[in-house]
Amino acid sequence: MRYYLGVDIGGTEIKLGIVNAEGEIEASSAIATEPEKGPEEAAERVWNWFEGQGPMTNEALSAGVACAGLIDRDKGKIITSPNLEGWEGTPLREIFTSRLSRPAVIENDATAAAYGEFRMGSGRGTLDFTCLTLGTGVGCGIVAGGKLQRGWQGHAGEIGHTIVMIDGPLCSCGSRGCLEALVGAGAIIDRAKRKLESSSGGDLEGIEPLTVKAIAAAASGGEGLAREVLEESGRYLGIGLCNIVHLLNPEVIAIGGGVAGAGDLILGPARKAVGEHVMHERLAGVRIIRAELGNEASLLGAALIASMESVKE
């Protein structure tokens, strides 16, 4: 049996898995990232876990390493990452290739998640598939005609920084009115805070800490401010999705990440907005669904990308 190693480096946790040639995760775990200790130390701890898995690791042909941010795949370096401060410019691919003793590829985490969903989750059976990861940031990966799309420099899919409101709220990228600044977790929480300040508070009163999960729990009770917050967020998400539909005409758009946990409370208004704004009803046939693989999507996708690239060689 051939195996591939999958690694997904987040700001607090590194998810690890061994994936077989069928795309099934045979073993998985998570360790602390501790980014301040640097990538070499992280790679060492990653290897310790894989080494403990014995024969499967010994038979693994290559490794895929996913992380958030702008990745220079050609040079194997992180250009900028929101949650791996100090790792910019370090030769991440080289570090992992050397420590794991097999060829490693590095990949943006949302691109990896989209590829994982395309092969083994919500995108199975399609050729034109877009997958959004809605969390603190808004990531996206695109499959068109059955092929993962990367763009000229490898940065295709930055839907989070497409502008949906001129002069809108400030985004982490420095621009204003980006989709991320309207539907990222922070934006949803800010929307709830504004409603709390300007009215009696209602079902949002006393929620501590105010998180998207807590807002969704309050909203599931029925009409109220919490539901308004998610409806408004869902409408902006729908505008973003509508732009994707017009640009790419996907069969399925899957939504994953923490914010997607709000389910139809946010996806319902998003679907409605897509229906209202597409140029022709034919385009409204796109299926907007929840992603299926949860937080293992990126490590699975990274391992599958590694397997795809080792086949090519």
Nearer to Zn ion, 96 or 236 (CB): 236
**233-292 binders of Zn ion (CB under 5 A):** none
Q: Residue 173 CB, nearest distance to Zn ion (Å)?
A: 3
CA separation for the pair 169, 175 (Å, rounded)? 9
**153-172 binders of Zn ion (CB under 5 A):** 161, 171
* Closest-CA residue to 306 (of 136, 83, 40, 100): 100
Q: Are 159 and 132 in contact (CB under 8 A)?
A: yes
Q: Residue 165 CB, nearest distance to Zn ion (Å)?
A: 11
Nearer to Zn ion, 25 or 173 (CB): 173
Q: Does 142 bind Zn ion (CB under 5 A)?
A: no
Q: Residue 170 CB, nearest distance to Zn ion (Å)?
A: 9
Q: Does 173 bind Zn ion (CB under 5 A)?
A: yes
CA separation for the pair 311, 4 (Å, rounded)? 12
Q: Does 178 bind Zn ion (CB under 5 A)?
A: yes
Helices 225-248 and 185-198 cross at an angle (nearest 10°) of 140
Q: Residue 174 CB, nearest distance to Zn ion (Å)?
A: 7
Q: Residue 246 CB, nearest distance to Zn ion (Å)?
A: 20
Candidates 24-32, 48-56, 176-184, 243-251: pick the segment binding Zn ion (CB under 5 A): 176-184
CA separation for the pair 313, 294 (Å, rounded)? 30
Nearer to Zn ion, 2 or 176 (CB): 176
Rg (CA), the chain: 20
CA separation for the pair 132, 254 (Å, rounded)? 6
Q: Residue 215 CB, nearest distance to Zn ion (Å)?
A: 22
Dmax (CA) for the chain in angstroms is 63
* Cβ neighbours of residue 103 closer than 8 Å, sequence gap 6 or more: 61, 62, 63, 97, 306, 310
Q: Give the phi and the psi of residue 287 in degrees, each rounded to 5.
A: -95, 125
Site string for Zn ion, 42-81 (x = CB under 5 A): ----------------------------------------
Nearer to Zn ion, 45 or 161 (CB): 161
Q: Are 305 and 2 in contact (CB under 8 A)?
A: no
Nearer to Zn ion, 9 or 138 (CB): 138
Q: Does 213 bind Zn ion (CB under 5 A)?
A: no
Quick check: helix, strand or coil at residue 170?
strand
Quick check: helix, strand or coil at residue 28?
strand
Nearer to Zn ion, 116 or 137 (CB): 137
Nearer to Zn ion, 165 or 217 (CB): 165
Contact residues for Zn ion, defined by CB under 5 A: 161, 171, 173, 175, 178
